[in-house]
Amino acid sequence: MRSISKPLLKWFDQFGRHSLPWQAPHSGTTNPYHVWLSEIMLQQTQVATVIDYFNNFIQHFPTMEALANASEDAVLAQWAGLGYYARARNLHTTANIIMHQYQGNFPAEFTQVVALPGVGESTAGAILSISFNQNHAILDGNVKRVLARCHQVKGHYGQNETLKQLWRLARHHTPDERNADYTQAIMDLGATLCTRSKPNCEQCPIQSDCLAWQTNTQSEYPHPKPKKNKPTRTIALLIYQNTAGEIYLEKRPQKGIWGGLWSLVECENDEKKINQAIKKFDKNAQIKEKLATVKHSFTHYHLMISPIIVACTTTKGFQSIAKLKVGLPAPVKKIIAKI
């Protein structure tokens, strides 16, 4: 089984992405801080979405030290909308670890990098490959798709044996030379040609090596995850609003959905529980308006949100909508925009 690295690198030189904001400038010097940040942002998120978030994040936190010295609220505020908020909290924690344990220098040993919060084997390999040109294989979602099609790997990669086989293939194809370019090249191939639907096989540089192409079975690989019906959960979000038009927000627990973000007060979507919560907050408060239900989907379930505007007489802890500078969950932003 020959390696796909040579035709892939030849294609990358001509058609690969070379101007992403976290890539090395013409000087050739790669900033490990930028690479690490981009790899964390790219977990579960596409490049097109990440670019603006990355640029904005770097503008607010241009260095590892700036990120470490920032408050968690400030970090979450710049992350809001990107989802999977544990990533942002892990970034902040990691920045402090690097400042205190590694004197502000991103570690260059695999065991050190993979031990950092939120960094798995593939992410660690990508960071060290791109930043330090070390020889490490990677296996992100794009690479899994390319290898599954190329070798007609059976089973979903959530299954242990399938994942082991994909790792073996990833290591086999990873070259000793130009490792950093190869790492970027195979990610680019999956992102631009070997896409989930309607892959552009006609332009693929490893077409002759691809078993799926030869048998016209591209749409069958990778094998899908066995489907499960997503459950639906319902909640009410209470929009406490005072006479000045300000609203009351509370910080959510670190664990659970929207961890560490600021949100409207959550309550069971039950009339009795809602009234009890309102009277406990402000005995003189009254329901002013019930807004249309908002649906927000997570990986494992759908969330149906019933927003309720509650007129209050109290002012303690309320914030001006126009001056909000804290991280808000995406559906909470939408709800507040309707007020």
For 114, other C-beta atoms within 10 Å of its C-beta total: 17
212 and 252 together in one domain: no
250 and 307 together in one domain: yes
43 and 184 together in one domain: yes
Asked whether residue 153 carries a pLDDT value surpassing 50, the answer given is yes
27 and 80 together in one domain: yes
Return the pLDDT at 225.
83
226 in any annotated domain: no
DSSP3 helix / strand / coil % (the chain, rounded to 5)? 45, 10, 40
| Per-residue model confidence as pLDDT tens digits over 42-61 | 998 889 999 999 999 999 99
**Pick from 247, 196, 203: nearest CA to 223:** 196
142 and 237 together in one domain: no
The more confident residue out of 225 and 302 is 302
203 and 237 together in one domain: no
Return the pLDDT at 304.
96
Give the angle subtended at the CA of 28 by the CAs of 21 and 204, to the nearest 5°.
65
Average pLDDT over residues 204-221: 95
225 in any annotated domain: no
Return the pLDDT at 27.
45
Helix (H, G, I), strand (E, B) or coil at 330: helix
Catalytic annotation, residues? 39
Average pLDDT over residues 276-292: 93
Return the pLDDT at 299.
82
The more confident residue out of 101 and 254 is 101
157 burial via Cβ count (<10 Å: 0-12, 13-18, 19+): buried
Lowest mean pLDDT: which of 110-119, 253-262, 277-286?
253-262
Average pLDDT over residues 14-38: 84
139 and 240 together in one domain: no
Return the pLDDT at 164.
96
Return the pLDDT at 256.
84
59 and 188 together in one domain: yes
What CATH number did the domain enclosing 331 receive? 3.90.79.10
Separation of alpha carbons 185 and 174, rounded Å? 11
Phi-psi region of 12 (alpha: psi -120 to 50; beta: other; left: phi over 0): alpha
Chosen domain end from 171, 190, 220: 220
Return the pLDDT at 4.
96
Chosen domain end from 163, 192, 220: 220
The more confident residue out of 317 and 103 is 103
Separation of alpha carbons 22 and 18, rounded Å? 10
Return the pLDDT at 290.
94
- Provide the b/e sequence for 40-75 (b: ≥16 CB within 10 Å): bbbbeeebeebeebbeebbeebeebeebbebeeebb
328 and 249 together in one domain: yes
191 and 278 together in one domain: no
144 and 16 together in one domain: yes
170 and 212 together in one domain: yes
Return the pLDDT at 322.
87
Read off the pTM.
Answer: 0.77
Asked whether residue 28 carries a pLDDT value surpassing 70, the answer given is no
Block residue for tokens 């990677």: 138
Chosen domain end from 188, 220, 252: 220
| Per-residue model confidence as pLDDT tens digits over 221-250 | 999 887 888 899 999 999 999 999 999 999
What CATH number did the domain enclosing 39 receive? 1.10.340.30
Range of the domain at 205: 5-220
Phi, psi of 25 (to 5 degrees): -70, -175
Q: What is the pLDDT of the chain when averaged over all its residues?
A: 93
Q: What is the DSSP letter of 257?
A: T
| Structural domain count, the chain | 2
Return the pLDDT at 260.
87
How would residue 25 be classed by pLDDT, with cut points 50, 70 and 90? low
Return the pLDDT at 29.
63
Return the pLDDT at 190.
95
Percent of the chain surpassing pLDDT 70: 98
